[in-house]
Structure 1
Amino acid sequence: MVEIPVIDLRLAGAVPEEVARLRDAARRLGCFRVSGHGVPRALQDGMRAAVRALFDLPDDAKRRNVDVIDGSGYVAPSAANPLYEAFGLYDAASPADVDAFCSCLDAPPHAREAIRSYAEKMHELIVDVAAKLASSLGLHEEEAQDCSFQDWPCQFRINRYNYTPDTVGKSGVQIHTDSGFLTVLQEDDCVGGLEVADPDTGEFAPVDPLPGTLFVNIGDVATAWSNGTLRNVRHRVQCVSGVPRVSIALFLLAPKDDMVRAPEAFVSAERPRRFRTFGYDDYRRLRLSTGERAGEALARLTA
């Protein structure tokens, strides 16, 4: 059974025991929960209400959410994932891009305000988590500043799983790793179904919702950037209840210049460089073209 630790972000930058718990979770499991994250419950509820309204739009309106980069627009149910649909917003760190997303869908004023406020708050959070993670690995403040997480692009993936009583036991989303650096997920408090791979057995274990926390998982870019120290966790979503499920994921993707390379602080004679320098956009296209979305594509880029 996978036990997901809850990291208190108010302590994870200063209290050695909490820093160690953060580091251990990211290295061993590739995921953890965060409390003390500063995202008000009212703001989370408002965002959920806004995205439910967007999913009620007619199909032709939804399809106005087009790709900005490959795989960043509306995703309709497909043969591979027939119960899943999603909106994409790139770059969630840019107020202009957030406004453009709302405008293309003709989002009403209350929804626009919820999405704007949520994007701003969640961007602050994901940058903070990334900085604390880098610090936990021993990256000095000057080196961490060179990473400029604040400038890394972000993407929202706003998900709905169209579950019914007849779909219980079926797949919501197939097994994958996330392609970017890390993901912060607001789950559906009422409907579970997220599962992560046990690092020891490879078997999948359920991740039940825990109100008041947000779920964080490590992606492929973080594994390469950390020279293999951070674990990119394999996960999937299963239908466990016959009612629709909504979740909201924010991805911190990759450096602003698009190039992924481990800092010199993570490379030594005892731990030589494990991955070649690569462009993140090229890597996304590799995953899409090969269908290798559960870590296999990253293995192609070993040094």
Structure 2
Amino acid sequence: MGDLQVENSSVPVIDLLEFGDSLASEAYKKLREACEEWGCFRIVNHGVSLNLMVEMKEVVRSLFDRPIEIKRRNTDVIAGSGYMAPSAVNPLYEALGLYDLDSPEALCTFCDQLDALPHQREVIEKYAGVIHELLMDIGRKLAKSMGLDNSVLFKKWPCQFRINKYNFTPESVGSSGVQIHTDSGFITILQDDENVGGLEVMNKRGEFLAVDPWPDTFLLNLGDVAKAWSNGRFCNVKHRVQCKEASIRISIASFLLGPKEEAIEAPRELVDDEHPRLYVPFTYEDYRKLRLSTKLQAGEALELVRAPILPNST
């Protein structure tokens, strides 16, 4: 297949069974193309069982049914990582979160906070494990598509887990569920609602396109860290959620954020005379704070970490 396979919402589709050991594989070319032109893509044949995905959705729904005083126990570890109640900006939206999903201690704390039952704990832990491995696998494939072959490149990068509920009502049809934004981290794996649509992504022409539900797949978004790490080659896709119908919409997002202490910067292989370094090194936590303090949530904060333009040497 020379062209990217596309679903009816025009988002590229990547089949993980097509990847081989050779960088010359057509799959790596398609993956890089999707990252550069779209900043998002569907993955199929991802190896996560449909049964586990269904079970996890059932657990998520039950967690949101907990009383508000229990949900509020889900406190922040880093800003925005815990329970988020409906607000003036996003009145239809609430969320629960976990930082870091690869940490057994953090998983245990998350389950304790929400009084998860033994079976629910088992499902959450199993889901976190397979999603973390999938994030690492996609990260390795992205690096390889850029000519980098480092199997431990993203190994110590923390991952955040966020489950989302949209309380769409008849009065809210046509309004925004979540404002236009980019994700702050590197990669997001989204298990979106299998029945209720509303997610829209922006293409390079500035047009929003609907991303329709597609069961047994994941949608992947690239965020601001991916754009900085790739030295501007990858697209940090803008997206939003619109209320299309009066219904409850549930989604599960898992984020590969950025290194915990080391600075984020483009690997030297991605910097040359034709591609000078675009961004100064920065830590993920400093960048996250910058986005929060400036309220620049749609990728604009990257302009504040632009590298100075140096005169050409002669």
Structure 1: how far apart are the matches of 2:173 and 2:119?
A: 34
Aligned to 1:3: 10
CA contact (8 A) 2:93 2:164 kept: yes
1:48-71 deviation per Cα after TM superposition (whole angstroms, max 9, x unaligned): 111101100111110100000111
Q: Is the counterpart of residue 53 in structure 1 residue 76 in structure 2?
A: no
Structure 1: how far apart are the matches of 2:272 and 2:253?
A: 35
Structure 1: how far apart are the matches of 2:260 and 2:90?
A: 31
Structure 1: how far apart are the matches of 2:164 and 2:90?
A: 12
Q: Which of 79, 87, 94 does residue 85 from structure 1 map onto? A: 94
AA in 1 matched with 2:85: A
Q: Which of 223, 226, 231 does residue 222 from structure 1 map onto? A: 226
Structure 1: how far apart are the matches of 2:51 and 2:143?
A: 30
Q: Which of 136, 140, 156 does residue 145 from structure 2 map onto? A: 136
Aligned to 1:248: 252
1:213-257 deviation per Cα after TM superposition (whole angstroms, max 9, x unaligned): 110010000100110111100000001111100000000000242
Q: Secondary structure at the match of 1:175?
A: strand
TM-score after normalising by structure 2: 0.92
Structure 1: how far apart are the matches of 2:80 and 2:262?
A: 16
AA in 2 matched with 1:161: Y
Deviation at 1:209, TM superposition (A): 1.2
Q: Which of 175, 185, 189 does residue 184 from structure 1 map onto? A: 189
Structure 1: how far apart are the matches of 2:246 and 2:104?
A: 36
Structure 2: how far apart are the matches of 1:202 and 1:116?
A: 39
Deviation at 1:43, TM superposition (A): 0.4
CA contact (8 A) 2:71 2:83 kept: yes
CA contact (8 A) 1:2 1:198 kept: no
Aligned to 2:151: 145
Structure 1 residues not aligned, in runs of 5+: none
Aligned to 1:277: 281
Q: 1:258 to 1:48 in 2, by over 3 A?
A: farther
CA contact (8 A) 1:154 1:253 kept: yes
AA in 2 matched with 1:119: A
Aligned to 1:123: 132
Number of aligned residues? 298
Percent sequence identity is 56
Q: Is the counterpart of residue 193 in structure 1 residue 202 in structure 2?
A: no
1:264-294 deviation per Cα after TM superposition (whole angstroms, max 9, x unaligned): 0111111110000001101111111111000
Q: Is the counterpart of residue 235 in structure 1 residue 239 in structure 2?
A: yes
AA in 1 matched with 2:167: N
Q: Secondary structure at the match of 1:249?
A: strand
CA contact (8 A) 2:259 2:283 kept: no
Aligned to 2:214: 210
Structure 2: how far apart are the matches of 1:146 and 1:61?
A: 38
CA contact (8 A) 2:50 2:216 kept: yes
CA contact (8 A) 1:192 1:240 kept: yes
CA contact (8 A) 1:12 1:22 kept: no
CA contact (8 A) 1:223 1:229 kept: yes
TM-score after normalising by structure 1: 0.96
Q: 1:146 to 1:93 in 2, by over 3 A?
A: closer
Query: Which structure would you say has the larger Rg?
Result: 2
Aligned to 1:17: 26
CA contact (8 A) 1:86 1:158 kept: yes
Structure 1: how far apart are the matches of 2:17 and 2:44?
A: 8
AA in 1 matched with 2:10: E
Q: Secondary structure at the match of 1:183?
A: strand
AA in 2 matched with 1:150: K
Q: Secondary structure at the match of 1:174?
A: strand
Q: Which of 174, 182, 185 does residue 179 from structure 2 map onto? A: 174
